[in-house]
A and B are shown apart, each in its own frame.
Chain A
């Protein structure tokens, strides 16, 4: 028995030694914090706190040189974007800020940093060191997107052909005549979809675009916060926040238990012209069926029109997927390559049932399609099982980004912690 224990230990020591040498010669060591910064991770992974921003850190971007830019939900000390400069041991220090607007979206590609307010998209030039050169004079790429104070965040991503994709969330739960009011039915031919409830495509390099210059790339999506471009499938994938309050609005059709589980949070693979069916349907992850929404004549059983897009994968209800990232690094083991990490911000609409989420999930992919079941990858952002159940989480994971070495960065918009997850076995 003892032998069994000492052999792997010796091996690990030898590996650690060689890894130490390797890092001495090539790059600064990234050391996990004691207790992995409170996170629960698969064997071989470690986590550290990169920085405590004390702000509502929404999405984040890491440049090829390792500088981290964090988009804040609300302006703090006049800054809506924080700049974090990497230091020793994989940590970073807040060394500046710019952008006088709150928001969610931020994305770095091809020498530019793109960032969004809740109405506009801007871009900043990055220099050879991966640092923004014009913090006070960004180029305005898109302006005038709809913000009515519900699902207002404008998440952004670029493809490899010079296109920018922007989510415009629906300013409604289920397109009722009276939003969220008990028994109120759906507005016929939901007019919200004209200018919201979908993904808009713009040119990434053209200034001063408005709705008229863009294309409604996909519709019938209630609200997307996490989205990413899958280079293998050459396709945009998005995570939708499913509708709320089936029981509150239609108590005779749904119990509180059903209302906690329904609908599933869905991953969609989009192509131009795709329609995911909101507000006319929701996805039942238990039956694995698209169900006609009660606002449009549904009863919890009737199926929706089959013409609408089928989700690529489904996850527990109301867990609020806020970040999506296709992992293309080589630091993590092979099974993670080209798979999806999804940051689930955590639920509120499961009450009175216990809340759920507050974790980062891994969804395996093969040839650009989900393959196999998802698993919780990084857990315990909340701090304890009780804090998950009550929804009073210490941290809420929101944004995901991949570092130049293949580290996975996670932002938290509750306490403002920036995490870095590394794989330390070789």
Chain B
């Protein structure tokens, strides 16, 4: 486990260096600094977002004062993945985020497939200034199985 994390941080470090170097060489095409998420995956996630999330959480992910929570700078999005997946699986109502109360009902999004849930959560975790690891189909499957029990 330790070895793995050392390796991982080394990898991250070196990729960080690589990224910094890329920045100075203008010729390489600019890539968004996402946590190793392909643009195809982000596009798939965005499509799900526009269809199912945008009308409440807004195009900029900023939500609506007092009603619909923002998806930026919040532990709900950036933190624990099972909890985040749980929001789609079970819905949510009445949360406090960074001292602000949000009262609207978020319905469960169970009409989405495992793939769609993984895509949209990965998109949200890597948009609007967010940067966090991808959500996998396996992680979604595990949460949905739990919810059925």
A348 touching B67, Cβ below 8 Å: yes
The B-contacting residues of A in range 107-134, CB under 8 angstroms, are none
B103 touching A152, Cβ below 8 Å: yes
Q: What is the minimal beta-carbon distance from A263 to any residue of chain B, in angstroms?
A: 15
Contacts of A56 in B (CB 8 A): 66
The A-contacting residues of B in range 97-119, CB under 8 angstroms, are 101, 103-108, 111
The answer for the CA separation of A184 and B91 in the assembled complex, in Å, is: 14
The B-contacting residues of A in range 316-357, CB under 8 angstroms, are 348-349, 351-352
Contacts of B56 in A (CB 8 A): 348-349
The answer for the CA separation of A251 and B54 in the assembled complex, in Å, is: 14
The answer for the CA separation of A150 and B94 in the assembled complex, in Å, is: 9
Asked if A182 meets B111 with Cβ closer than 8 Å, knowing A149-B103, A391-B64, the reply is yes
A351 touching B107, Cβ below 8 Å: no
Among A173-181, A229-237, A289-297, the stretch in contact with B: A173-181
B65 at the interface (CB under 8 A from A): yes
A348 touching B107, Cβ below 8 Å: no
Q: What is the minimal beta-carbon distance from A225 to any residue of chain B, in angstroms?
A: 13
A149 touching B68, Cβ below 8 Å: no
Contacts of A348 in B (CB 8 A): 56, 58, 64, 67-68
Contacts of B67 in A (CB 8 A): 348
The answer for the CA separation of A35 and B101 in the assembled complex, in Å, is: 34
Asked if A351 meets B58 with Cβ closer than 8 Å, knowing A73-B66, A149-B94, A248-B52, the reply is yes
The answer for the CA separation of A178 and B66 in the assembled complex, in Å, is: 21
The answer for the CA separation of A176 and B58 in the assembled complex, in Å, is: 23
A86 at the interface (CB under 8 A from B): no
Contacts of B59 in A (CB 8 A): 351-352, 390
Measured CB to CB, the nearest residue on chain B to A251 is: B51
A414 touching B104, Cβ below 8 Å: no
B105 touching A150, Cβ below 8 Å: yes
The answer for the CA separation of A348 and B59 in the assembled complex, in Å, is: 11
A392 touching B62, Cβ below 8 Å: yes
B32 at the interface (CB under 8 A from A): no
The answer for the CA separation of A181 and B90 in the assembled complex, in Å, is: 11
B14 at the interface (CB under 8 A from A): no
The A-contacting residues of B in range 1-60, CB under 8 angstroms, are 50-52, 54-56, 58-60
The answer for the CA separation of A390 and B51 in the assembled complex, in Å, is: 18
Contacts of B73 in A (CB 8 A): none
The answer for the CA separation of A256 and B91 in the assembled complex, in Å, is: 22
Contacts of B54 in A (CB 8 A): 351-352
A178 touching B107, Cβ below 8 Å: yes
A402 at the interface (CB under 8 A from B): no
Candidates B52, B60, B107; contact of A390 at CB < 8 Å: B60
B105 touching A180, Cβ below 8 Å: yes
A247 at the interface (CB under 8 A from B): yes
Contacts of A351 in B (CB 8 A): 54-55, 58-59
A90 at the interface (CB under 8 A from B): no
Q: Mark A167-205, 1 if CB is under 8 A from B, else 0.
A: 000000100001111111000000000000000000000
B93 at the interface (CB under 8 A from A): yes
Q: Mark A71-88, 1 if CB is under 8 A from B, else 0.
A: 001100000000000000
Q: What is the minimal beta-carbon distance from B2 to any residue of chain A, in angstroms?
A: 45
A247 touching B55, Cβ below 8 Å: yes
A245 at the interface (CB under 8 A from B): yes
The answer for the CA separation of A152 and B103 in the assembled complex, in Å, is: 10
Q: What is the minimal beta-carbon distance from A344 to any residue of chain B, in angstroms?
A: 15
Q: What is the minimal beta-carbon distance from A234 to any residue of chain B, in angstroms?
A: 35
Q: What is the minimal beta-carbon distance from B97 to any residue of chain A, in angstroms?
A: 15
Measured CB to CB, the nearest residue on chain B to A393 is: B65
Candidates A251, A256, A349, A414; contact of B65 at CB < 8 Å: A414
Measured CB to CB, the nearest residue on chain B to A347 is: B64
B94 touching A248, Cβ below 8 Å: no
Candidates B55, B64, B91, B108; contact of A245 at CB < 8 Å: B55
Asked if A181 meets B94 with Cβ closer than 8 Å, knowing A349-B55, A352-B59, A391-B64, the reply is no
Contacts of A245 in B (CB 8 A): 55
18 A-B pairs with C-beta separation under 8 A: A152-B103, A173-B105, A178-B108, A181-B108, A182-B111, A247-B55, A248-B52, A248-B55, A259-B55, A348-B58, A348-B64, A348-B67, A351-B54, A351-B55, A352-B59, A390-B60, A391-B58, A414-B65
List residues of B whose CB falls within 8 A of some A CB. Answer: 50-52, 54-56, 58-60, 62, 64-68, 91, 93-94, 101, 103-108, 111
Given contacts A150-B103, A182-B107, 17 further A-B contacts (CB under 8 A): A56-B66, A73-B66, A74-B101, A150-B104, A152-B103, A179-B105, A184-B107, A248-B52, A259-B55, A348-B67, A349-B55, A351-B54, A351-B59, A352-B55, A352-B59, A392-B62, A414-B65
Query: Top 5 closest A-B pairs, CB basis?
Result: A181-B107, A348-B64, A180-B107, A179-B105, A149-B103
